Each structure stands twice: as C-alpha cells, then as structure tokens.
Amino acid sequence: MPFLRRLSTLVDALNDRIGAAIRWLALIMVLVGAFNAVARYLTRYTGVALSSNAYLDLQWYFFSLIFLLGAAYGLRHDVHVRVDVLYERLSKRARAWIDLAGTVLFLLPFSLLMLWVSWPAVRNSWSVREVSPDPGGLPRYPIKAVILVGFVLLVLQALSQVVKQIDILRAGAPGDDAVTDGGDHGHGGHL
C-alpha cells in the first residue's frame, strides 16, 4: 500500500497542477471569444478581414481543453454532479463503498471504452495530419488527441481514488475522520 499511496499522491499533484492551469484557459477563452465577436462585426462594416477561422477554432479548442483535461481534476475535487438525496445521508464508510463500486464498475470501464473506440479515430487523424475543412483553420489532429490524454488522466485519477477509498474502508470504525477528503495522504507516517 505505501507504494500505491505514493503513486496516488503523485497523480493527485499532477491533476491539481493541470486544474490550476486550465483556469487560465477560461480567461483566455473569454478574451478570444470577445475578440471574435468584435472582429466579425468590424469585418462586416470595414471590409478589413480581422477575423479568421483560426481564431474561431481557437475559442472552442480552449473550451475543449478545459473539460477534457479538467475531468480528472474534477473527479478529485468532486466537481461532477451527484444525485445526493440519499448519498448525503450516508456515513463516510457507506459513501466510500459507493464511490469504490462506482469507480470500478462505471468510471474505469467507461473511460477504457472511450480510449478503445477513440484510438482508431485519433490515429487516422494523425496519419493524414487532419486540418480544419475551413480556409485558414487550425490543424485538427492535436485537439483530437487531447480526447485520449483526457481519458488517460481520468483513468489515472480513478485509480488514485480507488487507493484512497480503500484506505477509508480499512481505516475502520464508521465516523472515523482521520482520513478527511482523501486529498492529503502521502504526508502520513506510513511511507
């Protein structure tokens, strides 16, 4: 377990860094979006082509980066919405059981499925160096590859969650809050 805990801490740290970075993408996306809006308007009235398909592509590339790369960060920090009518009334142990079962039965198989079916599509896109069909648009193959990166990060984070949930379940008695949100393990004395 100590080795797995250390891996889990590493994955958590990696996704936290990514989470901190994608925040800035949100700001950049807003600025690019506003530029596109103004540029389209000015282009229409001045005839000077300020806007381009590259910038239009760029705004949804940032959008995609946020949720594809951020999904794992979201899993770690419980961003993904739950129907918690029952869940919030359960003990810590019961929640850990649900999370463990859900991760193993739903999240991991689904993420692996997404990797499995996306791989051929991304490989094709790379082999032909796929570019946007619009004139002046950006290359498509890198952003498609981010689908794979996102789900690999999600698989890693899911495994890290499994380690933490097993820790909660092994910690013993219900209501034992020695392990809080599972975010800060590695600092324990076990290593």
Partner 1 sequence: MSGLWGPAMFFGALLLIFSGYPVAFALGGTALLFACIGAVAGHFDLVLLYALPERTFGTMSNYTLLAVPFFIFMGTVLEKSRLAEQLLETIGALFGRFRGGLALGVIFVGALLAAATGVVGASVTAMGLISLPVMLRNGYKADFSLGVISASGTLGQIIPPSIVLIVLGDQMGVSVGDLFGAALLPGLVLTGSYALYVVGLSFVRKEVAPALPEEARSHGLDLLRRVVVSLLPPLFLIVVVLGSIFAGVATPTEAGALGAVGAMILAALNRQLSMKTLQAAMEETSRLTIMVIFLLIGSTAFALVFRGLDGDIWIADALTGVPGGALGFLLVVNTVVFILGFFIDFFEIAFIIVPLIVVPAQILGIDLTVLGIVLAMNLQTSFLTPPFGFSLFYLRGVTPERIPTTAIYRGVIPFIAIQLVVLGAFIYFAHPSTPAMPSLF
Site residues (CB under 8 A) for partner 1? 19, 22-27, 29-34, 36-38, 40-41, 59-60, 63-64, 66-68, 70-71, 73-75, 79-88, 90, 95, 98-99, 101-103, 105-107, 109-110, 113-114, 117-118, 120-122, 143-144, 147
Least Cβ distance, residue 110 to partner 1 (angstroms): 3
Quick one: 5 or 62, whose CB is closer to partner 1? 62
- Cα distance between residue 113 and residue 151, in whole Å: 10
Quick one: 1 or 30, whose CB is closer to partner 1? 30
Quick one: 107 or 179, whose CB is closer to partner 1? 107
Least Cβ distance, residue 138 to partner 1 (angstroms): 11
Least Cβ distance, residue 6 to partner 1 (angstroms): 26
Indicate the SS3 state at residue 139.
strand
Q: What is the DSSP string of 50-85?
A: ---HHHHHHHHHHHHHHHHHHHHHHHHTT-S----T
Quick one: 41 or 191, whose CB is closer to partner 1? 41
Quick one: 158 or 179, whose CB is closer to partner 1? 158
Please list the residues that pair with 139 across neighbouring strands: 131
Least Cβ distance, residue 153 to partner 1 (angstroms): 12
Structure tokens at 132: 């946007």
The one-letter amino acid at 104? V
Contact 5, 160 (CB under 8 A): no
- CA 163, 11, 29: angle at the middle one, nearest 5? 130
The one-letter amino acid at 134? D
Least Cβ distance, residue 183 to partner 1 (angstroms): 16
